[in-house]
Chain A
Amino acid sequence: MLTAAIVVPLLGAVAMVATRRLDDRVARLVALAVSAVPLLLLAVAWFRFDRGSRALFQLTEEAPWIPTLGAGWRVGVDGISLAVASMSAVVFCAAVAYPVDTRGRGRQYYGWLLFLEAVSLGLFLTTDLLVFYVFFDLSLVGMYFLIARWGHGDARLSALKFFLYTLAGSLVMLLGILGLYLETDPLTFDMATIIQTQPLAGNGVRAGMVLLALVVGLAVKTPLVPVHTWLPPAHVDAPGPVSAVLAGVLLKMGTYGLVRIPLSMLAGTFARWAWLIAVVATVSVVYGALVGLGQTNLKARIAYTSINHMGYTVLGIAVAGAAAADHPDARSLALTGATVEMVAHGLITGALFLLAGSFWSRTEDYDLGHYGGLAGPARGLALTTTVAAFASLGLPGLAGFVAEVQIFIGAFAVYPVAAGIALLGLLVTAALFLQMLQRLFFGELPPERRSFPDLRVPELATVGALLTLVVVIGVYPRWLLDLVEVSSRLLTGGG
């Protein structure tokens, strides 16, 4: 069933490319239908998931691929990957549904989006390290073409920068994966086996180098300061829905990878260096927020809040992996929080980038200084952006708070100083979002924006659906937390 969630969008992508003529509107509807299939399949997986089980992965499927290497087609889910994969499926549906100017190449555009969906879900659902790596790299390809072909501004350069930077990161990660792989006996890429056997346990320097390679490689994708500079140009020049996917789904590959590989497979080594990861995460939180405040470009500002939020996530992961035996509850809470942050950030920032796309499609202008007073002519846009902004700055009742408060509660128990400094991020993001709302929607309406049209129905419906989920998680977090907690307790060694 999980295999189908990967294969169906892939087949859809192939079909899109194979058909000769396909009207843009039809292409969009077909793509929407195809992208909804994995969402339904994952919803079924959600119901079939046994929360009482203590198995690492459930709903597993396996087929041999390269048996001599111990590589195979393995898929399965735990609470964390199911949550992140489901969020990804939602973001892809929204990205496909959001109207965008495909420049007469709708077939190709939706084909690439579906390809990217297959690859992303594959990455979150696989339990084979080699397959993980292959999907990790394939995701770059899909994103490269989406930005380069349908972006604006200097899209090709931005896309190239993104591609090279993250490919270099993935190469470093590959070295780490291979270093880990070579220690397994018998050789295997099977994640469950590696997690159970912890092949590098007690192997000082070598384990440290493998951890370094893995963390650096994943940090580029996350991204953490100082290897984040590919992110803002890629976001600014990408079309809105593609930005939503980039922020909502692709960044999660980095943080999800951190949970899946170093935290789970190198638990002992991770614990020794967790403090350093927490430091880098804290720097990302504060630095990302401050640089975001300094941006005058709407999309760059949102992009930097991603760095800030991914900082919270990594802080939660570092706390979860720390060697604090006396705080099992706090560490489990932090990991649950980090996972919920992945989900929340995907939905919230996905919505924000879609809305940024609406700005572009109306005015082709991201400069905050060129707006004002839009709450008059564009009430729907103002309301949805305000909700998304408050969700992002962590107002209770919305998903971001659920994530952040748990990360902070966990972090205070283990790294109180880092947590205290990271709290500043909450203040600065509040400042940057309130200032953004003020410049876009309040005050005087510039004369040239008099006829600024409000959100149309498809836009409102798509963003509304994402924000509805944000509210549901915010006021009724139990259904998500209970799922994630199963795995975070398992991974942090709690009961």
Chain B
Amino acid sequence: MLWLLPVLPLALAPAIWRLGSRRSRSDLGRAAAVVLAGTAALAVWAAAARPSAGYRWGAGITLRLTVDGPAAVMAVLVATVGLVVVAYAAAHEAERALPRLVATLVAFVGAMELLVLAGDVLTLLIGWELVGGCSWALIAHEWRLAAKPAAAAHAFLVTRVGDLGLFAAVGAAFAATGSVAYGSLSALEGGWLHLFVAGVVLAAAAKSAQVPFSPWLFSAMEGPTSVSALLHAAAMVAAGAYALVRLHPVLDGVEWFGPVVIGIGLATAVAGGIVASVQSDAKKLLAASTSAQFGLMFLAVGAGYPAAALAHLTTHAAMKAGLFLAAGIAIEAVGGAQLGRMGLGRVLPSVASASAVVALALAAVPPLGAAWSKEQIAAAAGHRAPWLAVGVAVAGGLSAWYAARFQLLAFGPPRAAEPTVERRPQESWCLSPPSAVDRPAGGQLATPRRWSEAGRPPRRVAPKAEDTSLLRVERSAVALTALASLALGLLWWPGAEEVVVGIAGPLAPAGAWETALSLVLVAMAVGGALAAYRRGTLLGRSSARVADWFGIPAATRIAVADPAIALAAALARFDDAVLGAPARTAAGAGRRLSRRLAAGDDRIVDAGVRATARAGQRLARFGASVTERGFDGVVGGIAGVVSRAGRDSRRLHTGRAHQYYVVATAGALVLIALAVAGR
């Protein structure tokens, strides 16, 4: 029964694809929503009943699913965020190949559920890799534009570097304990434990886009916005932090785990914050912020408080899904992701206000839930070392700054200088007369969709009534995330802390000065952003290098990717020119020899015995090959040994050893006869 939770979406995804190619957009959305609603219901059941399940893989391995506190939270989170995002995607995304997109998103949810519920490292690895495969398909969705599959490959390969760590971890677990189950991991010790922890940390850092792997999330931005929403909120990126939370008791067994993970987390939180603060691309700003927020979660786990990380993972899921969905609407309205061209507060008031709530959550303004979880992380950091709490507060200040920056630039009222909007969008832009660009080949009114370059016209042209209902779905999805962010404010209520502790373990006692410091920094950042916005300098002039992850992508290209490609090309040449040479010479010589023999053959031998000569020719070719390729030395050596061996053996003296030569030649003769017959 528990298996249904991951398998239901995975198995039904192909059916959704097929069905979607025949039916309308809303039918597609409905079908996907029903599947994911079922998944969500199963997740709630699993969270309540905490069942476990096994599946015999074979060869002595059993795949296990178990539900503990963090798994229960994540299972519900993944399914609900998936439901909201998929409904939005079915309503919002480009018409072309929409069924494939929706189906892959559904499969993505299933793969993530598998990862979440895994009760052993092999199942974790299976989910881990499947999530990566789905993300490739999703980022490469608009494959006609060459940059998209290239970005997808980049994202897949960078995260696969991390996956190798998980492969190693599985190997270490089995080598040390003879099992892959989480339950037996406590028996890990010595070198195997170090290898296991190193593997998991590598995998988690790559998946959660921590330094130095962060830039893959920028590549992932080539995917449709709904893909980003799911990827950042609950799937894929969340996997890294979740794995650390889930496996924390084992990982904490080596003393370097805490410092390393804290280092990775703090570096990413600060660096990501800076990148997001100078990015002028709406999606990339949010992407950098995701890395930074997951950096905070890493820091919390490293400090020994996975419960704080899990709480922040949950609040982050609600706000990041909301911001991406809102950004998707804004991007579509202005036809690009440049923040400088937005300023859509007046034209999209409902989206803007929902987004405002979510952005405040990202800024960690109380009484929103995200503020509570961030304070827990600050407390955890302070419990470890005071300077660490200062680091968290600085990272928090940066989040407040870029959250305010995103909200003001994307959804603020238009500033004194009019935003360079190509086409004045309106709240009901779908119903206004479409511009020429948006008019599909049929000429009939359709939902104007971003991906409208040359090619087939959209298969189906939506009627007006459906457009409004699609709009409603789209806006409701954004509003829901805002409501969720508000509802998570319940975390501030007394009593909530006990629930969190019950689910995921202890929290650090809040320190007064940490809270005060981080609140002051948040207030300063938001205030500063407002002031800069009034002056019109909020967008700023950003350094291209800083905005692109301090040049990490260029550096990896120069230091890793280009040398690897060059090495491959060089090896290919080497392989052909050097290693291939002896065989080529031998074959050429064999051919020449056979031609010469064939010539003599025709002159001397009459047709009746030609077959015999051909046999000789084959033998000659063979002999030539042996000589040419320098094998004669080896062959002779071995033959010598064998014959010496024969001399020693009793059987040689009985005179029966010659028989093996008969056998050997018999085989060769059969071969030759066939070769001749086949001519």
Provide the main secondary structure of the chain A interface: helix
A-chain residues with CB within 8 Å of residue B170 when the two chains form the complex: 405, 408-409, 412
B-binding segment of A131-139, A349-357, A358-366: A131-139
Asked whether A430 is an interface residue with its Cβ less than 8 Å from the other chain, the reply is yes
For window 555-594 of chain B, which residues contact chain A by CB distance below 8 Å?
Answer: 564-565, 567-573, 575, 579-580, 582-584, 586-588, 590-591
Asked whether B622 is an interface residue with its Cβ less than 8 Å from the other chain, the reply is yes
Compute how far the CA of A176 lies from the CA of B645 in the bound complex, rounded to whole angstroms: 12
Asked whether A98 is an interface residue with its Cβ less than 8 Å from the other chain, the reply is no
A-chain residues with CB within 8 Å of residue B416 when the two chains form the complex: none
Compute how far the CA of A79 lies from the CA of B573 in the bound complex, rounded to whole angstroms: 41
Q: Count residues on chain A whose CB falls below 8 Å from chain B CBs.
A: 104
Asked whether B487 is an interface residue with its Cβ less than 8 Å from the other chain, the reply is no
A-binding segment of B124-132, B257-265, B434-442: B124-132
B-chain residues with CB within 8 Å of residue A438 when the two chains form the complex: 146, 149-150, 153
Interface centre among A175, A176, A287, A401 (most CB of B within 10 A): A175
B interface residue numbers (CB < 8 A to A) = 56-61, 122, 125-126, 129-130, 133, 136, 140, 143-146, 148-150, 152-153, 156-157, 160-161, 163-164, 167-168, 170-172, 174-175, 178, 180, 195, 455, 564-565, 567-573, 575, 579-580, 582-584, 586-588, 590-591, 621-622, 625-626, 629, 631, 634-635, 638-639, 641-642, 645-646, 649, 651, 656-657, 659-660, 663-664, 667-668, 670-671, 674-675, 678
Q: Are B60 and A329 in contact (CB under 8 A)?
A: yes
Q: Mark A447-484, 1 if CB is under 8 A from B, else 0.
A: 00000000000000000000000000000011111101
Question: Which listed residue (A140, A376, A435) contacts B153, Cβ 8 A?
Answer: A435
Asked whether A390 is an interface residue with its Cβ less than 8 Å from the other chain, the reply is yes
Q: Are A112 and B678 in contact (CB under 8 A)?
A: yes
Q: Are B586 and A294 in contact (CB under 8 A)?
A: no
Q: Mark A391-410, 1 if CB is under 8 A from B, else 0.
A: 00011110001000110110
Q: Mark A266-309, 1 if CB is under 8 A from B, else 0.
A: 00000000000000000000010011111100000000000000
Question: Which listed residue (B163, B587, B634, B651) contacts A182, Cβ 8 A?
Answer: B651
B-binding segment of A240-248, A251-259, A418-426: A418-426
B-binding segment of A30-38, A52-60, A80-88, A159-167: A159-167
Q: Are B645 and A229 in contact (CB under 8 A)?
A: no
- A147 CB to nearest chain B CB (Å): 12
A interface residue numbers (CB < 8 A to B) = 66, 68-69, 71, 112, 130, 133-134, 137-138, 140-141, 144-145, 156-157, 160-161, 164-165, 167-168, 171-172, 174-176, 178-179, 181-183, 185, 187, 205-206, 209, 212-213, 216, 225-226, 228-230, 232-233, 287, 290-295, 327, 329-330, 332-333, 336-337, 372-373, 375-376, 390, 394-397, 401, 405-406, 408-409, 411-413, 416, 419-420, 423-424, 426-428, 430-431, 434-435, 437-438, 441-444, 477-482, 484-485
- A442/B143 contact (C-beta < 8 A), A294-B571, A430-B157 known: yes
Closest to B455 in A: A376
- B56 CB to nearest chain A CB (Å): 6
Q: Are A409 and B638 in contact (CB under 8 A)?
A: no
Question: Which listed residue (A174, A229, A287, A337) contacts B580, Cβ 8 A?
Answer: A229
Query: Could you pull out 28 A-B pairs where Cβ atoms are within 8 angstroms?
Result: A71-B663, A134-B671, A137-B668, A160-B587, A161-B584, A161-B587, A165-B586, A175-B638, A175-B642, A206-B641, A290-B568, A294-B565, A294-B568, A294-B571, A295-B572, A390-B133, A396-B125, A396-B126, A396-B129, A397-B130, A409-B175, A416-B175, A426-B160, A438-B149, A442-B149, A478-B57, A481-B58, A485-B59
Compute how far the CA of A443 lies from the CA of B634 in the bound complex, rounded to whole angstroms: 52
A-chain residues with CB within 8 Å of residue B178 when the two chains form the complex: 329
Compute how far the CA of A145 lies from the CA of B625 in the bound complex, rounded to whole angstroms: 19
- A408/B671 contact (C-beta < 8 A), A438-B150, A443-B144 known: no
B-chain residues with CB within 8 Å of residue A287 when the two chains form the complex: 571
- A134 CB to nearest chain B CB (Å): 5
Question: Which listed residue (A209, A230, A292, A409) contacts B174, Cβ 8 A?
Answer: A409
A-chain residues with CB within 8 Å of residue B629 when the two chains form the complex: 165, 168
Q: Are A182 and B143 in contact (CB under 8 A)?
A: no
Question: Which listed residue (A69, A330, A481) contacts B659, Cβ 8 A?
Answer: A69
Q: Are B626 and A183 in contact (CB under 8 A)?
A: no
B-chain residues with CB within 8 Å of residue A375 when the two chains form the complex: 143
Compute how far the CA of A337 lies from the CA of B174 in the bound complex, rounded to whole angstroms: 14
Compute how far the CA of A444 lies from the CA of B622 in the bound complex, rounded to whole angstroms: 49
Given contacts A232-B580, A434-B136, A481-B57, 5 further A-B contacts (CB under 8 A): A165-B586, A185-B651, A413-B174, A428-B568, A444-B146
A-chain residues with CB within 8 Å of residue B195 when the two chains form the complex: 416
Q: Are A412 and B621 in contact (CB under 8 A)?
A: no
Q: Are B59 and A333 in contact (CB under 8 A)?
A: yes
A-chain residues with CB within 8 Å of residue B645 when the two chains form the complex: 179, 182-183, 206
Q: Are B649 and A183 in contact (CB under 8 A)?
A: yes
A-chain residues with CB within 8 Å of residue B145 when the two chains form the complex: 443
Compute how far the CA of A138 lies from the CA of B656 in the bound complex, rounded to whole angstroms: 27
Closest to A396 in B: B126
Question: Which listed residue (B582, B626, B646) contacts A171, Cβ 8 A?
Answer: B626
